[in-house]
Amino acid sequence: MFALLDFTNGWIKTGGWIALAAIVFAESGLLIGFFLPGDSLLFFAGFLASDAAVEQFGEHYMPSLLVVASVCALAAIAGDQVGYLIGNRFGPSLFDRPQSRFFNPANVAKAEAFFAKHGSKTIVLARFVPIVRTFTPTVAGVSNMHYRTFVTYNVIGGTLWAAGITTLGYFLGEIDVVKDNIEIAAIAIVGVSVLPIAFELVKHRRDAAPSHD
């Protein structure tokens, strides 16, 4: 995980907001982007826009917080739109492919279960759940979710997720203990974001366990 984080963080420090937007877009709506560490990336991007990053690295790698948050939100929204169109255009056959290095049917099953449980608001909630957020817009497209409803929830979810976590990184990065351990803080953000999946897995196993009564 640290190696992947180092790679992506190095990429956005080199490519700036353009590379950042490309990664957020891919993780949001392209099925091959599920492995990208979106939460930690947004957190780190927000930090790079702060004055604390100048103290840490000697220069600004990102423009202002407003620009970073706006670019990330737009990239996230656009990524989900593409994911929806992919699902709507190619339909269920898209998920009939066998397991491969970049595709695991189990990830689709997680997104479908999440969607079935939460309905339209899944588009917002899934933003904060790694892997699930990558496949949810495609599942929404496959299920022919009303397009206007999808767009509304997509804009809300994309803005809350992208702008929210970059802003969190910006302000928490001003705290010395966070600034001095920025990679650990980014990993902690990922840990918090996977709690919903862990909770659902535990709940599912308990519900599926045979009764001893």
The domain spans of the chain are 2-208
Cα–Cα distance measured from residue 93 to residue 27, given in angstroms and rounded to the nearest whole number? 21
Residue pLDDT, tens place only, 63-121 = 889 999 999 999 999 999 999 998 888 877 766 666 655 456 666 666 677 677 777 78
Two tokens, residue 23: 């990664």
Q: Which residue has the tokens 């957190």?
A: 43
Whether 65 contacts 49, CB under 8 Å: yes
Whether 53 contacts 60, CB under 8 Å: yes
Residue pLDDT, tens place only, 192-201 = 665 655 565 5
